[in-house]
Amino acid sequence: MTKQFNYNQRMDIKYAHQELIDVNKVVEECTDKWFNQILSKVNRSVVRIGIVEGEYHWHKHDNDDEFFFVLSGKLFIDLEDKTL
């Protein structure tokens, strides 16, 4: 049985190429503890905003690189052998 998580994950692209992204507005409109929205696409990569509170379930992306830019608070990332 697959465990269900209460995450609001939006995989639609919210802003077009070269459209101004109002990050503060996205944050202000968010009412979820776990929110993920694709903001834009750059070449073959996507730019997402994540608003998080608490722990996220363990998962990994074998074929993707990820970059985290923390605007507020602290983000701890648990790897198999250490925490960053």
Where exactly are the structural domains of the chain?
8-51
Residues 6+ apart with CB under 8 A from 75: 52, 68
**pTM listed for this prediction:** 0.77
Nearest Cα to 8, choosing from 23, 46, 76, 29?
Answer: 29
What DSSP letter does each residue of the chain carry, written as one string? -PPP---EEEEEE-S-TTPPP-HHHHHHH---SSEEEEEEEETTEEEEEEE--S-------TT-------SSS----B-SS-B-
Q: How confident is the model at residue 1 (pLDDT cuts 50, 70, 90)?
A: low
Per-residue pLDDT tens over the stretch 20-67: 999 999 999 999 989 999 999 998 888 999 998 888 888 888 888 888
Residues 6+ apart with CB under 8 A from 34: 5, 6, 7, 8, 51, 52, 53, 54, 56
